[in-house]
Amino acid sequence: MDVKHIPLEKIHEQLGAKMVPFAGFLMPVRYSSDMEEHQTVRKGVGIFDVSHMGEFILKGEKAIDLIQKVSANDASVLHDGKVQYSYLPNDQGGVVDDLLIYQISPIEFMLVVNASNIEKDWNWIQSQNEFDDGVEMVNISDGTCLFAVQGPLAAQALQPLTNAKLDSMSYYTFEKTDFAGFPNVIVSATGYTGAGGFEIYVANEQAEAVWNAIMKAGEPYGIKPIGLGARDTLRLEMGYCLYGNDMDETVSPLEAGLGWVTKFTKPFINSENLQQQKNQGLTRKLVGFELIDRGIPRSHYELCDADGNRIGEVTSGTQSPTLGKGIGMGYVPTEYSKPGSTLFVKVRDRLLKAEVVKLPFVKK
């Protein structure tokens, strides 16, 4: 399969990035070290180029009806300038993808989806569009770049570039505003790091100028480019799921901890079966755990009971730069899911003791 290229690939190479294939795209995984880049975002400000993500525009009188059908969350509570986290349930009990929904107007929405699922999501939503001329769908993914400027100093670093009052933007809201000399740029108070910050959507032809403007404005605050390696440790410290690791087409969203965005106050795809599962009770759950013994849990390592019997597997795991210990997530039977429960991670032939903890691992 041919690898796709993001528009600023050459800039990342010039900055010394190690480029690796990820989700079908050649992406910067690190520029210096994962540890240094992680701490830059936790304590200061960093910029990620995440232009591999997908963006769809849904317009029309029936756009909200299509979204309500394909999304488990209740989009009727949205208002202009509001963002909502949700997921697309499939009809087999699993998850097509998780996504963000932006309400631009009552008849126009932007959906932001995972890079690896752009084509799948597009085809799925189109296949569910029974509203004839009531919804126009436009895939703007190939023409859109996305920069995530994350960290406690993000608002200060970006403020000279826009008239929007960044400090007063509420979490999960956005504005269409001027930015770095360009009009109608979407700036949203969202992110995947738990460190605070903003995501900026620009047309490909504006991307280089906007990237350079952000890097220049961020100089006094020590801004650095950040790769996917640190993005993964940052999101895992917050207990954020990664599609393809912690959930997929075969995993129940209720088991994955997505009950909070599953709204049974309206019908949606497979809602009756998910309601039944909720009523019957779950047999397993996604949990977070910290290693008590020294070691690093990795994806697909076995999770065991005290006798060494397999009870699950690690879906995401790493050495937490903030906590200085191994952390991970995985699915276990519900009797092992309460905080304080003991698990063991099988690393080669050793059983490393771990404790189930309440997420997030690192408090905001």
Are 194 and 62 found together in one domain? yes
Of all residues in the chain, the percent with pLDDT exceeding 70 is 100
Are 165 and 297 found together in one domain? no
Domains in the chain, number? 2
CATH number at residue 359: 2.40.30.110
Distance CA 211, CA 223 (A): 12
Of all residues in the chain, the percent with pLDDT exceeding 90 is 98
Provide the pLDDT for residue 283: 97
Provide the pLDDT for residue 2: 87
Are 199 and 348 found together in one domain? no
CATH number at residue 9: 3.30.1360.120
285-309 tens-digit pLDDT:
999 999 999 999 999 999 999 999 9
Of the pLDDT bands very low, low, confident and very high (cuts 50, 70, 90), residue 1 is low
What's the whole-model pTM score? 0.97
Nearest CA to 100 out of 116, 119, 78 is that of 78
| Residue 30 pLDDT greater than 70, yes or no | yes
212-253 tens-digit pLDDT:
999 999 999 999 999 999 999 999 999 999 999 999 999 999
**Stretch 133-154: mean pLDDT, rounded?**
97
CB atoms within 10 A of CB 283: 12
Are 188 and 323 found together in one domain? no
Domain boundary among 228, 261, 280: 280
- Asked if residues 178 and 185 have their Cβ atoms less than 8 Å apart, the reply is yes
Are 262 and 211 found together in one domain? yes
Are 119 and 211 found together in one domain? yes
| Residue 92 pLDDT greater than 80, yes or no | yes
Provide the pLDDT for residue 226: 98
Are 276 and 287 found together in one domain? no
Are 37 and 95 found together in one domain? yes
Q: Would the annotation count 119 as a binding residue?
A: no
Average pLDDT, rounded, for the chain: 97
Are 268 and 335 found together in one domain? no
Provide the pLDDT for residue 133: 86
- Asked if residues 247 and 256 have their Cβ atoms less than 8 Å apart, the reply is yes
Are 311 and 270 found together in one domain? no
Are 261 and 289 found together in one domain? no
Are 153 and 235 found together in one domain? yes
**Which residues constitute the domain of residue 163?**
1-239+248-280
